[in-house]
Chain A
Amino acid sequence: MSAYLGLWHYHACIVLMMVGLFAVISRQHLVKKILGLTITQVSVIMFFVAMGKVRDGTAPILATMEAEAVATAARDVDYSNPIPHVLMLTAIVVGVATNALGLSFVVRIKASYGSAEEDEILAADHETSKRESAAL
């Protein structure tokens, strides 16, 4: 059990991820689904950033610019891994962009169906297809 205790950060991120996923699949209102998606997304980002952490390390901002000093400092001072940080910066911005797109879809759906609840939208679709097949 103690062999797995060092992984608790990852497990905490996964628990948060699952709470967000639960909101996505169990709630009916579309804006609520998108909020759940935001929770999931932040948790995934946190999972990646947690992998980049080095124990007793510092933020990856160089204290000195001298090439030799940096070469030795890279052995003495531990910088946390900058690569997950870069990738997750991209993910945050793209996430907000897709969020905006999703919310604009919800606004259009509300305008044409008069509801943003998933079950009512599906019922309205069902009605329409029944009416169309009766007309044929």
Chain B
Amino acid sequence: MDVPVEAFLFLLLLVTAVQVARLRDLYAASMMTAIFSLLSAGLFVLMDAVDVAFTEAAVGAGVATVLSLGALSLTGSREAKKRGQIFPFVVVTLTGAALIYGTLDMPHYGDANAVIHRHLAPDFIRGSAELEIPNVVTTVLASYRGYDTFGESFVVFTAVLGVILMLGTGKGAKP
């Protein structure tokens, strides 16, 4: 079974996440975030989500790290001394407890009889064979949920437009 590997990866993820929250050198923290993304990509492969894994490894660990390093070079990389942390800790503990309470009546991990595996997903798998596309994720992304993907590209376009308006193109007069 995969359980020891999964447990080990989750442990490494926890260590890197705590380091991200703890480190005051922000270059180190953003490298830790990249490591976090890469480790999570490994975990996605164990969860059979290969498409998610390589998107996370390329976009999450690659592009996002370049963006945050670029931002750090413009904003400075030292974090000032932090203050009391009791209140955030209490908020986070309460939120986590509420979320864990919410999972208690969920079907167990890997349960093949869970409701989400009984409807729609078998139809998509059969439809993928009819459309002659081997990768079911590609079929759903491009054919069945093409409008979602269109909306996604519109969101990315809007975000890029926002970044350009915010930072300028480097030409023209500076305010």
Residues of chain A at the chain B interface (Cβ within 8 Å): 4, 6-12, 14-23, 25-32, 34-36, 38-39, 42, 45-46, 49-62, 64-67, 70-71, 74, 78-90, 92-101, 103-108, 110-111, 116-117
Contacts and interface: CB of A to CB of B under 8 A. Distances in A.
A32 B23 CA distance: 9
Contacts, number: 287
Nearest to A98: B159
Contacts of A92: 52, 55-56, 59-60
Contacts of B49: 49, 52, 59, 80, 84-85, 88
B55 to A, nearest CB: 5
A106 B124 CA distance: 42
A46 B43 contact: yes
B67 interface: yes
Interface in B50-93: 50-52, 55-56, 59-60, 63-64, 67-68, 70-72, 74-76, 79-80, 82-83, 85, 88-89, 91-93
B59 A96 contact: yes
B116 A100 contact: no
Interface of B: 6, 10, 13-14, 17-18, 20-21, 26, 29-30, 33, 36-37, 40, 43-44, 47-52, 55-56, 59-60, 63-64, 67-68, 70-72, 74-76, 79-80, 82-83, 85, 88-89, 91-93, 95-96, 99-100, 103-104, 106, 108-112, 114, 116-117, 120-122, 124-126, 128-130, 132, 134-137, 140-141, 145, 148-149, 152, 155-156, 159-160, 162-163, 166-167
The 3 tightest CB contacts between A and B, nearest first, are A6-B108, A55-B110, A97-B159
Interface residues of chain A: helix, strand, loop or mixed (majority): helix
B166 to A, nearest CB: 4
Contacts of B85: 26
